[in-house]
Chain A
Amino acid sequence: MDLKNNIFLLKELVKRDISGRYKDSMMGGVWAFVAPLIMLAVYTFVFSMVFQARWGDSGTSKTAFALNLFIGIILHGVLAESMSRAPSLMQQHASYVKKIIFPLWLLPMVPVISGTFHALISLIVLLLAVLLFQGLWPWQTLFLPFVFLPIVFFALGLAWLIAGIGVYFRDITQIMPMFITIMMFMAPIFYPASAIPEQYRSWLLLNPLTYAVEMGRGALFLGQLPSLSAYLIYLTAAVLSAAAGLWFFSKVRKGFADVL
């Protein structure tokens, strides 16, 4: 497994994946910007105008709920895209599995990278909205890329794991959408972590999203940085889960051609 020699191949695969999505649409890549913009507008309307929801107990502005919600949804989106596409990846590329010599372990990386790409575009939309409604960003906003980094590693680990299982156990295609939704509600996305009753709070930390969402909100809205040690523990857990996913994938990969 040699990423250096395969970097061009990976780039091509990601390029095809992203351009393939907009290939036959009239507005093409503009959708990548328009879609998050519309979603943010809808969240703002529903939660700020209709529900008149306030984020936490501090007297925040009307738009704060939508903005706090959106950063959670963006981070969740990276995992969601990877997890929803991973189960059928090998079936979709059956000829790569069976007919040619192909570095298959690259394939699960593709939805992770293109999911991250779309998340970053949404993040730009979010940053512009924050600028518009709340004024200049705190300098801690520069920390945001480090919020995404562990999520990308978690997404890689999950993608390798799920892609590997998906070959043998097709039911996972049915299970995944449910699982993704559970992951969304079992993380502080629609509510601040402080709203969770004390006795359940540590359980939510099992969700890899929880800590990232809290860090992202802290950096962007409150100007807070996590403690270095907590961050490093979190990052290490992410890297380890990616390594475990890759190990699992390369182990079960040997039987792919027999099953497909």
Chain B
Amino acid sequence: MSFETAVSIQNVSKTYHIYKSPVHRLMNVLFGAQLREPTHIYALADVSLDIKKGETLAVIGRNGSGKSTLLQVLCGILEPTAGSVQIKGRIAALLELGAGFSMDFTGRENIYMSCAVYGLSKASIDERLDSILRFAEIGDFIDQPVKTYSSGMFVRLAFAVIAHLDADILVIDEALAVGDAYFTQKCMRFLRDFKARGTLIFVSHDTHSVISLCDRALWLEKGRMKLLGDAKPVSEAYISLLHQERDADCHDSTVESQGEHAITAQGEFGTGEAHILSCRLLSESGSELMLLDRAQQVTLEVKCTAFKDIQRPILGFFVRDRLGQPLFGENSLEFAKNWAFIKAEQTQVLRFTFAMPLLATGEYTVGVALGSGTQDTHVQHHWIYDAYAFKSQASPHLTGTIVLDDVAFVAQVDGA
């Protein structure tokens, strides 16, 4: 890493003026004159930082905190209201999935167009085409109009183009989130290589990739710089704040969940042909599990009712950590071959029993879903993202997510 500055942001503010008439706005842009004092909304307020060549910066913060605005200002798409941005080198950006693609044109035509936008000539695009196609792994679809593409294919194509522009500065806004795990890994590998020669500015909600990829992180809160520093402490501070707020939210609903008919529901969907009435996780002793402090046999008890006859019902559950990462889950297909239907107006009590490992200290949620059909084709009747919440308390020296149970250890001299 050299000490040359690649991006210099000086006291940048972005204010949105609410004008009475667009003509006033035109006059303002043209002459800098304020015809009538507009109403202000701050999207960015006094942001200053220097990003060195070869450095990787993550921008984190809640929705509406100004992350995307900052990236747009960096790219020159938005003009800052005050302050200045200086860029040294060629900048390329991936701000929104599929932006800049023409839907009626094929993937190949869009590659040419997207590269041309960055000033590449036909000859130099021809040269890169094979490598772009290999990176994108779109296969024969490359000659189909991009409107037929899945979101995964979109992001692969867009990323492949960005990766071949020889940019000095890359700006990426959460685009990796839609790719599959394999492609995300591939992008990560590319970005790691890219760090050796270029500057990366990266907006992500995935704190894991922020910590593993970025040197520094900038935390924006309501357009202001809340914290700027090494990626790890900044992301941790950010997460712990989110966590505290969620705790405060959760507190009310956990109280409700004591009652049998209440569901700690935040996001749900389904046909509504059957309803999950309640969901409880019971400890070994049969009481509701609020705090998990050792591995034990637990029972997930779900009470449901159907409004129509449900053929071949399936009950599934998953346990997620506080970041929403699924840890494990199961469904009833394997275990309930003789569970053929729920009759209309019937209420059934369903119980999963399994060995719950001790989990890293923190908060966990259980999601449940009631559907019908087969593993491959099924409909969801009622799907609840956070149906039950509990906490786990593990010894502080735990590294990882799950505490192993029944561990034995023997030390022996080899050959003895």
Contacts and interface: CB of A to CB of B under 8 A. Distances in A.
Contacts, number: 83
B26 A100 contact: no
B75 A258 contact: no
B29 A8 contact: no
B407 interface: no
A168 B22 contact: yes
A84 to B, nearest CB: 21
Nearest to B16: A258
A251 B92 contact: no
A228 interface: no
Contact of B30 (A6, A12, A102, A251): A251
A259 interface: yes
A101 B78 contact: no
B79 A254 contact: yes
B93 A100 contact: yes
B117 interface: yes
Interface string B396-410: 000000000000000
Nearest to B92: A101
B106 interface: no
Contacts of B26: 165, 168-169, 252, 255
A257 B78 contact: yes
B116 interface: yes
Contacts of B29: 168, 251-252, 254-255
B22 A259 contact: yes
Nearest to B77: A257
B30 A101 contact: no
Interface in A1-39: 2, 5-9, 12, 16
Contact of A258 (B76, B78, B113): B78
A198 to B, nearest CB: 39
B166 interface: no
B99 A100 contact: yes
A7 to B, nearest CB: 8
Interface string B119-147: 11110010000000000000000000000
Interface in A144-171: 165, 168-170
B22 A101 contact: no
Contacts of B118: 101
Contact of A100 (B23, B28, B30, B100): B100
B72 interface: yes
A108 to B, nearest CB: 16
Interface string B60-92: 000000000000100111110000000000011
Given A95-B100, A254-B29, A258-B16, A100 B78 contact: no
B25 interface: yes
B206 to A, nearest CB: 22
Contacts of B239: none
A99 B96 contact: yes
Interface in A84-115: 95-103
Contacts of B112: 12
A256 to B, nearest CB: 9
A12 B116 contact: yes
B397 to A, nearest CB: 47
A98 B100 contact: no
A103 B113 CA distance: 12
B121 A8 contact: yes
Contact of A9 (B16, B72, B117): B117
Contact of A6 (B16, B75, B96, B119): B119
B47 interface: no
Contacts of B105: 16
A255 B117 contact: no
Contacts of A258: 16, 25, 78-79
B225 interface: no
A5 B122 CA distance: 11
A100 B116 contact: no
B22 A99 contact: no
Contacts of B77: 97-101, 257
A224 B76 CA distance: 51
Contacts of B119: 2, 5-6, 9, 103
A257 B96 CA distance: 15
B95 interface: yes
26 contacts: A2-B119, A8-B120, A8-B122, A12-B112, A12-B113, A12-B116, A16-B105, A95-B100, A96-B100, A97-B77, A98-B77, A100-B95, A100-B117, A101-B117, A168-B25, A168-B26, A169-B22, A169-B26, A170-B22, A248-B30, A251-B29, A252-B29, A254-B79, A258-B79, A259-B22, A259-B25
Enumerate the 6 nearest inter-chain pairs by beta-carbon distance, A residue then B residue, closest first: A99-B99, A9-B116, A254-B79, A5-B119, A168-B26, A100-B100
